[in-house]
Amino acid sequence: MLSIRSITVDCADPYRQALFWSDVTGWREDPDDPNHPDDPAGRIVDGNGISLLFIPVPAGKTVKNRVHLDLMPTQRSRDEEVARLLGIGALLVEDHRQADGSGWVVLADPEGNEFCIERSARERSAAAVVAAP
């Protein structure tokens, strides 16, 4: 059995990516190992031992991610979270929201790495109550 220590993201600017993803997730830099613009990598931690690690690579992103994060809002609705993320620099890739409130939105970070925003737990619960006979 294994546990996840880090989810690693290839990028051009580790510092910028760490700042962006910290705004997205609320995760923070390790106080014992803070990020600096000239560091060889960037890292943010969730407080439970998992980190997002940003590693510089020479080649830019050219194809769809093979792995991506599906994120569920904890304090906002899906639509409010999508608007917030677009405001901090995310890019809209695909909108899969449905008229009944289901669906998700595919966004990309400033370097083009895709991630999805799903409905919040509250939105899922409300939909289940409405759908119940």
Instruction: Sketch the domain layout of the chain as residue ranges.
Output: 1-60, 61-133
Quick one: average pLDDT of 68-93? 96
Predicted local confidence at residue 132, as pLDDT: 56
Predicted local confidence at residue 47, as pLDDT: 87
Give the CATH fold of the 1-60 domain. 3.30.720
Q: Flag whether pLDDT at 69 surpasses 70.
A: yes
Amino acid at 127: A
Domain 61-133 has CATH 3.10.180.10: yes
Residues 33 and 40: their CA atoms lie apart, in Å, by 12
First vs last Cα of the chain: how many Å apart? 41
